[in-house]
Chains A and B, each alone.
Chain A
Amino acid sequence: MMDADVAPARGARGPALASVWADRLGFFVIWTLAGFALLLLIAPSLIVVMISFTETAYITFPPQGFTFEWYADLFSRQQIVESAVTSLRISLWSTTIALLLAVPAAFSLVRGRYPGKTFAGALIVAPQMIPGMVIGVALLFFGAYISFRQSDLMLVLGLTVFCLPFAVRLVMAQLQLLNPALEEASLSLGATKKRTFVQITLRQIVPAIVAGAAFVFIESFDNLTVALFTASPRARPLAVELYNLVQFDSSPMVAALSSLEILLAFVVMLVLGRTIGLERLAK
């Protein structure tokens, strides 16, 4: 099979001149698209941060003047501060529960030998395929059915369902990479099984657990789709508060709040980068 633009190798001669130009043009387009993608990833955050310092009472670009007024305004609003604390509390709970469920489940799914394991694995990661809104609505209906009302607990449960697959998959991936010889080595060196488990097995999957915790935490903190239907009105998470602000309030304070969330994301990423490395996170 010989295609028109694949020149057969003729001695030391390179590809035809036309194809050199096609190459240059083609790769110019590819690099341009890559650059545009980078721009698309960074520009919105930069613009939001810039806007948050404007002196005008409305959003305008380019921002005018420079003021921290909107940040001050943000912290003076008890409701926003309270909702941030609520989000923190909710996220810690759902992170804890998700990990307590996910780590043993991952062990069973990677190392267990029993019929129906494939099915069990599919069940545990199933919520990942369901949009957060559907999970939220289902919980809301289910709650109406059994008189279980919207509350912190319902929100925590909803977020845990939503986040469990991420945690399980991260831990499973790490477990599959583990060299079983390490555990045997530990045993042959006279360590007890508990010691082997804690010092070798568990220690080796700590990066996955840290990454899992970070992702569940951030997802719980930022989640709106589940929260909209399950959160208690008494203690509304920050994401719902922010959603309302975006719709009801056109003041640059919203930009200030968004900027703080962007800052938080960078801090978390820094911590993750230091603990387990970003390259591993990508997988």
Chain B
Amino acid sequence: MKLTRRSFTTTALAASSLVAAPTIVRAQEKELIVISYGGALQEPHRWLGDKLQREIPNLTVRLVPSESQDIVAQIKAAQGFSPYDAMPNGEPPHLIAIRDGYIQKLDPTRLENYDNVVPEFWPKTQGYGVPATFSLIGLAYNEEMVDTPPTSWADMWNEEYADMVGICRTSSNLGLGTLAMTAKIFGGSETDLDPAWAKLKELNPLAGRSPRILAQMLERGEIAVAPLWNNDAAVAAEKGLPIKFVKPDPGPVAILSVMSEITGARDTELVYRWMDGIISDDYQELAAAAPYYFGVTVQGVDVPEAARPYTPSTPEEVAALQTVDWAEIVKVRPELVERFDREFAT
């Protein structure tokens, strides 16, 4: 190829117009940036985003798939100029976000669907954000690798699964949930986690950096059993992989996800439209359906039959749901993250 002056000029012109273009277009746009989940679990948010984009002219809804941890780092760096508008948080990071002032108090009068929500969920939000969905931490296993499926939390320590158990780092809710649950069944508590560390270490587990990565490890057959989110297990099973989910005795851990307005959001009105959408029947029906099986937080939405293995479907199962005193856990979260390295660094 010979570089002539003309071809160079043409390229330069084309390049500069490409560079300049988005700035011109963006000027008249409205934008809502929402933290979302990664992979297939993002779809319900996508659906709601598309719906809002149809309803509101010039609106772009951007979904940022992320584990919420690095998002909080960015919000912190932005010092009050958050680049994001709304985010769903599981209970532990929700408490941290309230403490550090990253999210805003909810004004219930601005929500049309406020009364839709099962009233018991409201206190858990502590007045910040709307209860979006809930998910379960249970045990997932790879059918091809396991002869007798686990039925209780204690089964993780079964001889059969020796060296084939995975756990998630304590930087995630999944990891914290696993830790808290282990503490509970082995005589500890939220304030006394030492038994849990000892028991987990006994497992000689393979650690996953994040829940999604842990799920992938299970999918690839690197591990046979792992505490996992019901949603991730459901998505993997849907793909045709031999992944099964059990609600182990005495019960799976339920964690509520709260959708909140982030401090410094640019267009509060839009954020409220989004939160209202989250607690609408349409959205909840979709989120509860295959293959996501998110737990619903509103009244009157039926849980589909196929969701049975993944969600609490009988009153007994609802009663068995385990809760954790997250306030105690989040106080020491940094130490717990570091402790993981100290215990499990390989």
Contacts and interface: CB of A to CB of B under 8 A. Distances in A.
Given A140-B77, A250-B216, A271-B1, A233 B19 contact: no
A248 B1 contact: no
A250 B222 CA distance: 14
Interface in B1-38: 1, 3, 15, 18-19, 22, 31, 33, 37-38
A57 B18 contact: no
B86 to A, nearest CB: 13
Given A234-B33, A248-B65, A250-B216, A57 B239 contact: yes
A248 B39 contact: yes
A150 interface: yes
A33 B62 CA distance: 49
Contact of A144 (B66, B79, B84): B79
Interface string A142-168: 011001011000000000000000000
A236 B38 contact: no
What's the dominant secondary structure at chain B's contact region? mixed
Interface string B114-130: 00000000000000000
A262 interface: no
B241 interface: yes
Interface string A224-263: 0000000011111000000011011111000000000000
A275 interface: yes
A251 B212 CA distance: 12
A275 B7 CA distance: 14
Interface in A79-99: 79, 85, 88-89, 92-93
Nearest to A207: B3
A147 B65 contact: no
A275 B1 CA distance: 6
B313 interface: no
A210 to B, nearest CB: 7
B239 A79 contact: no
B213 interface: yes
Nearest to A93: B19
Contacts of A92: 15, 18-19
Interface in B58-104: 62-66, 71, 74, 76-79, 81, 83-84
A79 B63 contact: yes
The size bracket of the interface on B is 35 or more
Interface in B221-272: 236, 239-241
A58 B212 contact: no
Interface string A46-62: 00000000001111000
A185 interface: no
B210 interface: yes
B83 A149 contact: yes
Interface residues of A, number: 34
Nearest to B8: A206
B160 interface: no
Nearest to A88: B18
Contacts of B33: 233-234
A113 interface: no
B219 interface: yes
Nearest to A206: B3
A77 to B, nearest CB: 10
A13 interface: no
B72 to A, nearest CB: 12
Contacts of A247: 38, 209-210, 212-213
Given A206-B3, A233-B33, 10 more contacts: A89-B22, A149-B78, A150-B83, A233-B74, A234-B83, A247-B38, A247-B213, A249-B38, A250-B215, A250-B219
A-B pairs, top 8 by smallest CB distance, nearest first, are: A248-B38, A57-B239, A249-B39, A248-B39, A233-B83, A248-B212, A274-B1, A250-B216
23 contacts: A56-B239, A57-B239, A58-B219, A89-B18, A89-B22, A92-B19, A93-B19, A140-B77, A144-B76, A147-B79, A150-B74, A150-B77, A206-B3, A233-B71, A236-B64, A248-B37, A248-B38, A248-B65, A248-B212, A249-B40, A249-B212, A250-B236, A275-B3
Interface of A: 56-59, 79, 85, 88-89, 92-93, 140-141, 143-144, 147, 149-150, 206, 210, 232-236, 244-245, 247-251, 271, 274-275
